[in-house]
Each structure stands twice: as C-alpha cells, then as structure tokens.
A and B are shown apart, each in its own frame.
Chain A
C-alpha cells in the first residue's frame, strides 16, 4: 500500500486536483505560483547580487591603482592620475597614463598604451561618443580613440571608462605604479553609508511582504481543498495519504512558482544587463547566482510551502464526514506575538543615538531590527483584528453580518491583509528616510540658490591667467571668481575670496566689505596660525566674526573666510586655487562646456557642483521605485483578497440564497462584503502607519535628518489600500449577484 509508487500517485493526485479545479482553481493556482514566483525571483536576485558584485569587484580590483606604495622610477613604471568628468548626469571615470620607460604595465583589457593625444575607451563610452548629439563630449579630451577596453577591464557593460594618454603628469600630482591591481590596492571610492542602509532596508521592505505573501499564497483556497480531501477520506484515504495529497497540491504551485521565479529572475537579469547603469551594470556572465544559495532556494521554497500547508492542516481535522476547524476555539494570545517586535525595537534603539559608522555591525543590526519589527506587524495583526472585532457590537444588518463573519473566522481575511500591512509599514519607513535624506541634501532650504554654482578645482599648477582667459572664453560661463586656499597646518585653512563668494559659504555673513574676516568650525578672532609649508605666522584680526557654514558645504575643521584685503600683507603662496563660476541657467550645455574647458587645461581638474540634483534624483528615483513596487504588491494582494472573498461567498451560497430569498437587499449583502474586507484592511493600515511612522522617525534620527511625518507616503499607500478594498468588493459583487439570483435556493 505504501511505498514510493503510491506516494508518487498521491502527490500526483494532489497535483492533478490543483490544476483541474476549473476557472477558480486555475486562478488559485496562478496566484500561488505568482506569489511563490515573486518570492523566488527576489531570493534569486538576492543570491545573484553578491556574486555579480564580487565578479565586478574582481575586475575593478585588477585595474586598481595603489596610491600608497612608494615606487621608484624605472623602465617599467608609469605615472597615473584619476580623472572624473561626468557628461549629462552620467559619470565618466578614467586614468591618465604617462609611461616612464619602454615596458610600462598594461591595464587589464587594454592591448596598447595610448600615447599623448590618444585614448582607449570602454564600449559604452565609444557608443556615447559616437552619438550624433555628443559633439561636446567628443571635444572634451581632443584625443583619438585607438581601441576599446575589453570586458576584463571594466566593472560592467555600461561602465563609461577611459585611459587617456598624456605627457603632462608630474610625480607631484600623479601616482607612480609598476602594476595594475596589486594586492591591497583600494579600487573604488566607498559608498555612502546612508545608501548602503537604504538599499538594505529597501530589500527588507520588499522581501518580507513577498515572504508573507508567499506564505499566504500557498494557503489560497485551502477550504475548498479541505472539502476535497474530506471526500477522499470517505473513499478510504488515511490521514497520511491526505497530507501527501495536500502536499502534492501545494507542490504544484510551488514548482510552478519556482519556474515563474526563474523566468522573472532571468528577465530581471536581461533588463539589468541592458539597462543597468553605473555601478549596477553587470555582464550576463557575472550574474551567476551563488550555486549553494540556488540549491537552497530550490529545495527550501517548496519545502517551506509544503510545511506551511501541513502546519495549516494541523489545525484542521479532515474527516470523511467533513472538516472540523479547531482554530475557532483558540483565542489568539498577545504575549508571544510581542517578542519579535520588542526585540526589533531593542535592536533599533541604539540608532536613536545616531549611526556609529566606525562599528561595522550596525547594518546587520538595523536590517535585523527592521525585519523583526515588520514581521512583528504580521504577527500582531491577527491578534489586533480579533481583539477589535470581538468588541464590535451590532449595527445595521450589513455591519452585523460582516462582524459576525469576522468573529467566526478572521484568519483568511488577515492573511491577505498582513502582507499589505507589512509592505505599507516598510514603505512609509522607507519614504520617511528618503524624505529625510532629501531634506538633508536640500540644505534645509536656508542656502537658497547659490550664485556661483560650479567650482573648478585644478590639480595641475597653471597660471591663473590661463584659466581666466579660458573661462572667459567659454560660452555659458557668466562670471568667475578666484578662491585661494592656504593650509594652516593639518587642521585649519584659510579660504580667501571676494565677499560674493564668501557669502555663499555662510548665510550669516550678511553685509561684507573687502577686509573682513569670518571664522567657521571653531576658529576664533585673535588666534594665531602658521600658514603654508613655510609656516608664516598670521593672526585672525580682532574684528573676525564667528559664523556657521551652510549644510551644503560642511566645514571640515577650523576655517577662516578671508577677503583679499585682509590677507594682502601675507607673503604665502596658496596651496590651491579654485574658480567659482556662475553658469547661464538657460544654457543646458554650459556645464558641459565648462567641463570641456577644464579637461582641456587640466584633465585632472575636479568640478564640484552646489547643485546636488543628481543625489536628489537618485533618491526620488528610489522612492518612486518603492512606491511602484508597493502598488504592484498591493494589486497582487488585492487579487488574492478577491479570491478569498469569492471563495467565501461560494462556500456560503446557501445562506446567501436564503438571505436573498427572504428579502435581504443586495445592497445590504454588498455592504457586508465591503465591511468584511474593509475592517481588517483598516486595522492593518492603522497598525502599519503607526509602526511605519515610528520606524521612519527612528531612522531619520539615525541619519540626523529632521524628523518629518511622511503624509504623502501615508496618503498614497492609504489611497491605494482604499482602492484595493473597493476593487476587491467590486470584484466580489458579480459573484454575489449570481449566487443570490432567484433559483439558487434549490440547487446544491
């Protein structure tokens, strides 16, 4: 009787029944498959990203420049310098190469070192250069493209990278190397901690609802399934067989889900390969998910699906005469549901003191804390709904029908809603951080529009006049001012410029005359400083006024803002000079022309822009993506709620027909369906908004952003939730009408 063959038959029978259930059965199966598929896709993605990142890091590591090592000049050495020159919002990076002998090292992916006036570019950059409207970019380096960089020398297919040959580097301004990618070389600039945090939190926020959805998806239609199983018990299936048949049913969905997940993941990879930009572009060959993780996903997802099914069945006694649910008598208890969220709060609490970036474990702590808190919502919601519904009293007949129904069984309703609640809480938290970080980059609005929006910082020493002439000749540059920076030891510096420029560094300066001095970051009047390498003594005049700087440009250490007249006497050569330029706001190409001018005079020159719109754009993009993801998730959850409602209506067709028969108006029945959907959603949203806002506040405190309530996020998600409720109800109504149509009373 037992033995592998009958096992296979029983599993196959379950599979057979899961695909043969007519239209509603197919819909049920599709939802299970999509739910599991989404989870699998996200999991596969999570298994792929580290592999892709490390593949990409290996390549960027191989071309890294070790700027710490002391390398003596030789026949096999080369001078290099980093160049970074964005073009229309896309960052372009590269190295200047200047061989010092006959056997210079070759960068990975490059077959010949470009000489002066030559360059080797990445394929993506070559394509960009070839675009008809990229004339400004073609002018930038005035060099001939003699080849493209092979895949092994690039982080990804979309990377814009170049090696530019030159003969203007000197050991003072460049790094001497003997090889590319020596062990211990630091490859790329590190990512901003906030972005790491945001990414991790975002993943948690998306992953958990998907998991919740997955767990609830495999339970779609379990009441119909239990009835099926009861019929099987009658013809002699024993309890173990019944479980295997149920497992077979779930496995079908889970396996289909694995396939769908793999397809979604593959689609995602192709998209990432084609449209990925910057640091998120990978070769297809990079995106091999970690095999061990794939094996774990392939085994664990169906196993978890089956486990969820079987554990849900433990509360159900499937007998030949029908199904007994034991959950009705079990009142939900609060205490153990509080354990996870409390641990979450405890883990997150240190954030209240701000992020300690020096300790490396904080990301894990934050992510685990958030995960616990969000899972806690899914745990708390059933209790909340039950406790609330139990206290709800009578009202209109529609209200009464709905409340009584929820009192007798709120499980199905909650399972769908908890997914919504978790994702909404996550989104509100995320939106909160994004808003907070955004306001951080907005500089609280006290900076206002700056007059000199772009600063050119040359790395090579050239006469000021050359720059002045070139800047004046650049179309779109309205005016420019010089700022000289004189170091006063390691900790302090003097910034010498006209009042116009200084005023933009601190909003408190106000009235300013040539000869004034202002102090920032701990500098005070009367303090003595040793200037330059020579250590020329200079004292801040008694009239020096202490001001605070703008958040746009945080002062690093003691800074004295000095007008030229106040420094006239000091015979000190400036350590560096920068040019504050005002661009024509109506000329979109002005910035590109300025970059061209800078690149022509000094390819190493760095341009700093006060307009940090790129960061804002990135954040806004993140936020839009999150909102879109949530909307998609809510629609999916809405679909699962439709299934629940329809299934439940079908189950109660007799009662409904009787209600209709003795004259209950359809409006009343419709309203009761609406209430039934709306009550759990409303409670879920309330819990989600509360937890989400609290979480957002905490995270905002952590990143030292001003605490704001994200009314937009709350409004948007609540609106979508309301739409889901209405949509679910509307979708259930046709079934309700059909079931209550005359003539249904008789039929079984």
Chain B
C-alpha cells in the first residue's frame, strides 16, 4: 500500500524511469529491504490502470526506457493519503516515516502529518482510557497494554517532530 504512494510521491518531483524510481526508493526508504524491479513494474502497472500515472514514451527506446509521470488524479490521491491519519497500530513507524519523508520531499507540511497522526493516536488512547476507567481490572490491564504501545508511537512522533528540520535538510540534499 505505502509502496505505491511512495512511488507516486517520488514522481511528484518529475517524470522518471522505472530504474530511477527503484534507486530513489531504495535510497529514501529501502534501508532494510531494497525494492525488486518486478515490484516496481507491478505497482506502476496498477497505478497506470487506476489513472494515477501515465507513461511518456521516448522514441527509439526499449521497454526499460519507459518514463512514468504523475497525473493530477495522482497528486490528489497522494495529498489525501498524506492527510489521512493511519489507523493507530503497533509497528506503524515505517509507514509514518515514509509519509513524513514524502511530505518533506514534495514540499508539503510534514508537521501537519505528524499532528494529524498524534491526534488520531490520542483519540484512540482517550477511548482506551475511558474504557479503562469504566471497566474492571482485566479491562484495565488490556487497555494499559495498548496504551503503552500507543504511547511509544506518540513518543516517536514527538521525537520526529522535534527533528523535522534536520530530516528536511537530509531529504532535500
């Protein structure tokens, strides 16, 4: 899911070849897992089918030299995705990280992304807190487990928010 938005976001900077896209992705997000070429083409095919990207053919080149460009629909979809908070769940940070970096890359408000997410997290935490206060000990323990995990996410959000300037510097390079 996030890979397609990541590639879309990378295209916002300008049309690219599939090979370029893979390299840019690996550089920005593929720290642990590099993207396979097949994954790139499969994703591009899906985006092409949904009308979010288009292909700019360059005459005389082979199939590898296809250049992809983002459509207006793609930009709208991308923006919607960025402003839409993720459902709070454990191990979210890779998606969130992608969002923040993409926001920075595309000149959008990364802090807004983080704040939106914080709000969503807090909303769930409030719900859990309410359940905890009204419930019995079992509820309390279960809710606390979730709360502590969400708190860890939120702490990461705070930390990232505090380091946005440095991250923007690195991404911009």
Is there a direct interface between A and B, measured as CB atoms under 8 Å apart in the complex?
Answer: no
Residues of B within 8 A of A (CB): none
Residues of A within 8 A of B (CB): none
